[in-house]
Structure 1
């Protein structure tokens, strides 16, 4: 439980969101939660500090730009990753690269 990397995943495709959360939560040093809208993501970030914001599919380009800008204002040090597929290996690698860790 201690020293886990908190990850918030935003995606509008429920099945894909569930899969990403399942994959991320297999890593004992990570704790991932998911939401399906920008509004939910902003509300979550106002009440909880996340190290990573992972943006999945389904958001429009404008939604993604606005979300990134608002989250960066709240948490300048947060790592924001846009992930649109490519398998679990790529997903894990993207997070490890953003965090500067190795798996």
Structure 2
């Protein structure tokens, strides 16, 4: 069974890289978006196992986004990922899913 991971960030170039990294592992299905509206639409239409919040989301927007996410999928895990290489990313994901 694949683990579905939703990445929400604001930087298009980083989002492209995250998409490549998340989908490099066959056991993961990465979905990467740059807007909250896209993220909410995805969450309303499919189950997600983990959400990564990327760079560029200010603290006020993050608080609102988390509230909206949890109102749709209350059990989803949400972690912050601001970069640091693929090894760190994979470690963060495995810890969150563990």
Unpaired segments of 5 or more residues in structure 1? none
Match of 2:31 in 1: 33
Query: What does the per-residue CA deviation read over 1:19-43, in whole Å, with 9 as the maximum and x for residues that have no partner?
Result: 1110111111000011111111111
Counterpart of 1:96 in structure 2 is 94
Partner of 1:73: 71
Superposed CA RMSD = 0.9
What is aligned with 1:4? 2
Residues 3-52 of structure 1: CA deviation (Å, up to 9, x unaligned): 10011111110110111110111111000011111111111100111001
Deviation at 1:58, TM superposition (A): 1.2
Where does structure 1 differ by over 2 angstroms across 4 or more consecutive aligned residues?
none
Give the total of aligned pairs: 98
TM-score by length of 1: 0.90
For the pair 1:21 / 2:19, whether they are aligned, the reply is yes
Q: Which residue of 1 aligns with 2:53?
A: 55
- CA distance in 2 between partners of 1:29 and 1:18 (Å): 19
Q: TM-score, normalization: structure 2?
A: 0.95
Q: Distance in 1 between matches of 2:23 and 2:54?
A: 16
